[in-house]
């Protein structure tokens, strides 16, 4: 905890002492050891999907806490391989991507068909695979913000994936096609027993106004999350909100003044909690993205993002560039620092829950013997 507070610096009180007076924490389905039993078992998810979710939640340093730490490396397509891996060319080799996730104690590694397929027989049984099924390939000129499928659900299943991931660019001209396309893909992934994760991103030049960028506005990203869980994404990936009031500033869609006065505020934890609320009050876990690498400030930025996500009721972080655009040892250190935020109290709660279950089991056995002796 001391390392975390040290990284928060003079913002310790701002992040750690803040109390949400918007959406009460007791309304949120917060991550826990029993999250699958309490949230997903009553749903329409099949037993194989529950097994896949269990595989995600029970791997790595955060196993048994209900929280997730995922390493995503699809930037070779999304941002070009040269630009992504120039800081550390080792990651041109897919095996080093998977090694970083394992050594970094992650719950899973998320990457492309090619990356995971090239090392599937060696690693699919050692760490859960999440296959990203669509991408913006960035080589068409002029570039357009469109996500296209790079493979099939059957391919993902055959290489041993426990989950598939996809991006929808909400607000883009192609978004309606993408919604239909990914809704069908997620339905089939569930039929195959895999979990589903949706990158709920906004893309539209009209979302910028008066030098202010509303692509990360709490109200817009919150609605994107709500659309994502509507097509039955089990987990939502979203950027951390940086502002609010996009609907009113851009004069489009529908809004209510209470969205900004009662359901949120200008505090980042309150804005993130609004994102969580739009994920069916946390029934679908919210994982925030780590963002691009800024060099020396990466560790501090990652810890701050994790603190905001956790205190808002989120489920974890999915951090890529901050981890792999540096030497492996430094990447491992950063991933561990993120995980430490979620382990502060969660590990104790997890151990107490396990101890309680064992105690209850012992009590049940004791009562059985008493009954047998009496009868």
- Find residue 217's DSSP bridge partners: 243
Task: Determine the Cα–Cα distance for residues 92 and 323; give it in Å rounded to an integer.
Answer: 15
Task: Determine the Cα–Cα distance for residues 338 and 306; give it in Å rounded to an integer.
Answer: 6
Active site residues: 237
Task: Determine the Cα–Cα distance for residues 18 and 34; give it in Å rounded to an integer.
Answer: 26
In terms of Cβ atoms closer than 10 Å to its own Cβ (0-12, 13-18, 19+), residue 233 is buried
State the DSSP code for 240: P
What one-character-per-residue DSSP string does 283-346 give? Answer: TSEEEEE-----GGGHHHHHHHHHHHHHHHT--EEE--HHHHSS-HHHHHHHHHHHHHHHHHHH
User: What DSSP element (H or E) covers 218?
Assistant: helix 218-230
Task: Determine the Cα–Cα distance for residues 217 and 266; give it in Å rounded to an integer.
Answer: 11
Task: Determine the Cα–Cα distance for residues 117 and 98; give it in Å rounded to an integer.
Answer: 11
Contact between 194 and 46 under an 8 Å Cβ cutoff? The reply is no
Task: Determine the Cα–Cα distance for residues 92 and 86; give it in Å rounded to an integer.
Answer: 9
Contact between 354 and 347 under an 8 Å Cβ cutoff? The reply is no
Give residue for tokens 């940086």: 242
Task: Give phi and psi for 226, each to the nearest 5.
Answer: -65, -35
């Amino acid at each position: 905890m001391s390392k975390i507070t040290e990284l928060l610096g003079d913002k310790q009180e701002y992040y750690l002492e803040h109390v949400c007076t918007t959406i009460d924490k007791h309304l949120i389905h917060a991550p826990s050891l029993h999250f699958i039993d309490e949230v997903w078992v009553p749903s329409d998810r099949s037993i194989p999907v529950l097994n896949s979710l269990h595989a995600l939640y029970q791997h790595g340093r955060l196993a048994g806490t209900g929280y997730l730490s995922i390493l995503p490396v699809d930037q070779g397509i999304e941002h070009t391989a040269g630009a992504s891996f120039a800081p550390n060319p080792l990651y041109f080799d897919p095996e080093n991507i998977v090694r970083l996730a394992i050594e970094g104690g992650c719950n899973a590694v998320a990457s492309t068909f090619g990356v995971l397929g090239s090392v599937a027989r060696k690693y699919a049984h050692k760490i859960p695979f999440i296959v990203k099924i669509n991408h913006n390939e960035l080589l068409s000129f002029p570039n357009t913000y469109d996500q296209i499928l790079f493979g099939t659900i059957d391919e993902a299943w055959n290489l041993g994936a426990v989950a598939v991931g996809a991006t929808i660019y909400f607000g883009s001209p192609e978004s309606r096609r993408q919604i239909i396309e990914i809704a069908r893909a997620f339905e089939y992934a569930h039929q195959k027993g895999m979990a589903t994760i949706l990158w709920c991103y906004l893309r539209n030049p009209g979302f910028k106004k008066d030098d202010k960028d509303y692509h990360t506005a709490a109200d817009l990203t919150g609605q994107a999350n709500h659309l994502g869980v509507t097509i039955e994404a089990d987990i939502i990936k979203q950027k951390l909100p940086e502002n609010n009031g996009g609907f009113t500033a851009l004069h489009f869609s529908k809004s209510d003044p209470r969205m900004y006065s009662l359901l949120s505020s200008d505090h980042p934890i309150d804005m993130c909690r609004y994102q969580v609320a739009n994920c069916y009050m946390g029934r679908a876990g919210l994982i925030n993205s780590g963002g691009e690498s800024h060099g020396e400030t990466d560790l501090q930025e990652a810890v701050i993002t994790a603190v905001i996500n956790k205190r808002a009721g989120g489920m974890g972080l999915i951090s890529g560039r901050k981890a792999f655009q540096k030497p492996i040892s430094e990447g491992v250190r950063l991933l561990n620092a993120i995980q430490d935020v979620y382990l502060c109290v969660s590990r104790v709660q997890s151990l107490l829950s396990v101890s309680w279950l064992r105690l209850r089991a012992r009590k049940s056995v004791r009562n059985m013997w008493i009954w047998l002796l009496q009868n």
